[in-house]
Amino acid sequence: MINEIIKKNGITFGVTIGIVSALITSTIYAIDLNLFTSWWIGVLSILVYLTLGIVLLSKTKKELNNIFSFKDAFTTYFIATLIGILISTLFNVLLFNFIDPSAKETLSELMIKYTVNMMQKFGTPASAINEAIAKLKENNPYSTLELLKGSVFSIVFSSIFGLILAAFFKSKTTQE
Lowest mean pLDDT among 51-60, 73-82, 105-114: 105-114
pLDDT value at residue 82: 98
Kindly list the distances between the CA atom of residue 65 and the CA atoms of 56, 59, 136, in Å, as whole numbers in the listed order. Answer: 14, 10, 51
Tell me whether residue 133 is in a domain.
no
158-174: average pLDDT: 91
Closest to 82 in 3D by CA, of 152, 160, 3: 152
End-to-end CA distance of the chain: 17
Give pLDDT, residue 172. 85
| pLDDT above 80: residue 173 | no
Number of neighbours of residue 147 by Cβ within 10 angstroms: 21
Q: What is the domain range of residue 64?
A: 4-100+143-169
Q: Is residue 116 part of a domain?
A: no
Q: Kindly state whether residue 120 falls inside one of the protein's structural domains.
A: no
Q: Using the predicted structure, report yes or no on whether residue 129 has a pLDDT greater than 50.
A: yes
Residue 73 binned pLDDT confidence (cut-offs 50, 70, 90): very high
User: Is residue 135 in some structural domain?
Assistant: no
Q: What is the mean pLDDT of residues 14-23?
A: 98
Work out the burial of residue 138: count CB atoms within 10 Å of its CB; fewer than 13 is exposed, 13-18 middle, 19 or more buried.
exposed
The one-letter amino acid at 59: K
In a domain, 62, yes or no: yes
**119 lies in a domain?**
no
Task: Give the residue-averaged pLDDT of 94-118.
Answer: 94
User: Within a domain: residue 127?
Assistant: no
- The 10 Å Cβ neighbour count of residue 148 is 12
Cα 173 to the center of its chain, rounded Å: 32
Q: pTM score, two decimals?
A: 0.91
Cα atoms in the 13 Å half-sphere on the side-chain side of 164: 9
Which of 44, 41, 42, 54 lies closest to 81, judged by CA? 54
Residues 68 and 56: their CA atoms lie apart, in Å, by 13
Q: What is the pLDDT of the chain when averaged over all its residues?
A: 94
Looking at the structure of the chain, the number of domains it has is 1
**pLDDT at 174 exceeding the cut of 70:** no
Asked if residue 68 belongs to a domain, the reply is yes
Task: Please write the tens of the pLDDT for every residue from 55-69.
Answer: 999 999 999 999 999
